[in-house]
Amino acid sequence: MAEFRNTVQMQKVLDYMNSVKSHPNAETIYGQVKTEVPSITRATVYRNLNKLVEQNQISRLEINGEFRFDADCGLHEHCVCKNCGSIIEYVNNNFPKNLLKKFNSDKFDADSVNVIFYGLCNNCKTTFLGKRLNKKGMLKSSKNKGR
Ligand SMILES: [Zn+2]
Ligand SMILES: [Zn+2]
């Protein structure tokens, strides 16, 4: 029966992952799965996440020193907002291929690449920092020139 329970718990973790488009960390996943399976322990959730990563059912990325989990194992890159920390997916299948083509090193033979873009999400750009940004999306100098 223990085997059966383990399978059910892992399935619950996977179900939750498939239900979200965000890239939650293990603690968030634990909190959410626990609302459905109150008996599940933090250790079980962490163990199941690692197993799912090993089985390539989900992927794990490290952003700002923290592991985040992603149910989408397809080819895509991630954009991380420096202001609010939200993670936005950038899907362009040619992008990693083109990068690899341009990659040229006699010290290393690369066959895959994983890029994280850092910047500002649209929300932060328009609502929070909007007034301080110029058209290129760059922060204007806070100095008040000549006045
Ligand atoms: Zn993703
Ligand atoms: Zn943001």
3-56: pLDDT as tens digits: 677 789 999 999 999 999 889 999 999 999 999 999 999 999 999 999 999 999
Q: What do you get for the CA distance between the two ends of the chain, in Å? A: 76
How many angstroms separate the alpha carbon of residue 137 from the centre of ligand 2? 13
Biggest distance spanned by C-alpha atoms of the chain:
76
Confidence label for 146 from pLDDT (cuts 50, 70 and 90): very low
How many angstroms separate the alpha carbon of residue 122 from the centre of ligand 1? 18
How many angstroms separate the alpha carbon of residue 138 from the centre of ligand 2? 14
How many angstroms separate the alpha carbon of residue 72 from the centre of ligand 1? 6
What is the rounded CA–CA span in Å between residue 15 and residue 18?
Answer: 5
Confidence label for 93 from pLDDT (cuts 50, 70 and 90): confident
Please say whether the beta carbons of 121 and 88 come within 8 A. Answer: yes
How many angstroms separate the alpha carbon of residue 147 from the centre of ligand 1? 46
List alpha helices for 1-144, DSSP H.
2-19, 26-36, 42-54, 94-102, 122-123
Residue with tokens 């895959």: 112
CA-angle at 73, arms to 30 and 104, nearest 5°: 125
For the CA of 91, the nearest ligand: 1
Would you give the DSSP letter of residue 63?
E
Please tell me the pTM assigned to this model. Answer: 0.75
How many angstroms separate the alpha carbon of residue 54 from the centre of ligand 2? 31
Please say whether the beta carbons of 115 and 97 come within 8 A. Answer: no
Domains of the chain plus CATH, in order, are 1-72 (1.10.10.10), 75-138 (3.30.1490.190)
